[in-house]
Chains A and B, each alone.
Chain A
Amino acid sequence: QEQLQPWGAGLLKPSETLSLTCSIYGGSFSDYYWIWIRKSPGKGLEWIGEINHSGSANYNPSLRSRVTISVDTSKNQFSLKVNSVTAADTAAYYCARHARNNYHYLMDVWGKGTTVTVSS
């Protein structure tokens, strides 16, 4: 069973860059899209973006200007960067696998959330 483990800095100051990485253990890296999602008290679950093994990425338009998702196939990892963070970026951040079943997509494997707090 595939497992995902997110990691990165948990405390940031306003205007800094959020940087998280998700390591993938077991399973195939190339057959899926790999997702970042966050959950905050104010906005619930919010899809940030996703990437496949070849680096093709999709982003939430609400965050696109500040977000970069990248992939490192040699390490079975994908990463998230969010520039110019504010308190509104305080959230639990999840990485997940986006699988396809016939014509339907589902987020079928999730890592545990990692908390990021933005505070001066």
Chain B
Amino acid sequence: DIQMTQSPSSLSASVGDRVTITCRASQTISTYLNWYQEKPGKAPQVLIFAASSLPSGVPPRFTGSGSGTEFTLTISSVQPDDFATYYCQQSYRIPWTFGQGTKVEIK
């Protein structure tokens, strides 16, 4: 299985801060990398697919980058609605696997 490792596991940020989350794959996955946001009591939603593409409706303050084994999710100016848990997921090979999650909390 391809192991996905996220860092940090949690972080505190103030509204307006720039936030960066890193995801590393145990082997190269090209750009087959997705990011999801999960809020308590709600279904997860996809933020980024193919490492850097935004689905329609996702605010442009979310950007994804990377290829191979190292990827980042950046929130350019974190908003109150962005405090949530973020997961990366590889879509390169079955079994699809997720990172352990990064919880973004209010400072």
A residues neighboring B (CB under 8 Å): 44-47, 58, 60-62, 94, 96, 101-102, 104-108, 110-113
Q: In the complex, A91 Cα to B72 Cα: how many Å? A: 28
Contact indicator B50/A112 (Cβ below 8 Å): no
Q: Which one of B11-19, B20-28, B75-83, B90-98 contacts A?
A: B90-98
B residues neighboring A (CB under 8 Å): 1, 31-32, 34, 36, 41-46, 49-50, 53, 55, 87, 89, 91, 94-101
The SS class assigned to the A binding surface is strand
Taking the closest CB of chain A, its distance from the CB of B90, in whole angstroms, is 10
The SS class assigned to the B binding surface is loop
Seed contacts A101-B49, A104-B34, A108-B46; 14 additional CB < 8 Å A-B pairs: A44-B99, A44-B101, A45-B101, A61-B1, A61-B95, A96-B44, A101-B50, A104-B32, A106-B55, A107-B34, A107-B44, A110-B43, A110-B45, A112-B43
With A60-B95, A105-B91: A44-B100 Cβ-Cβ less than 8 Å: yes
Contact indicator A107/B36 (Cβ below 8 Å): yes
Q: In the complex, A94 Cα to B85 Cα: how many Å? A: 16
Contact indicator A110/B53 (Cβ below 8 Å): no
Q: In the complex, A107 Cα to B43 Cα: how many Å? A: 11
**What are 8 pairs between A and B in contact, CB < 8 Å?**
A44-B99, A45-B98, A62-B1, A102-B50, A104-B34, A106-B49, A107-B36, A107-B44
With A101-B49, A106-B34, A107-B34: A112-B42 Cβ-Cβ less than 8 Å: yes
Contact indicator A104/B95 (Cβ below 8 Å): no
Taking the closest CB of chain B, its distance from the CB of A40, in whole angstroms, is 12
Q: In the complex, A63 Cα to B91 Cα: how many Å? A: 19
Contact indicator B100/A94 (Cβ below 8 Å): no
Contact indicator A107/B101 (Cβ below 8 Å): no
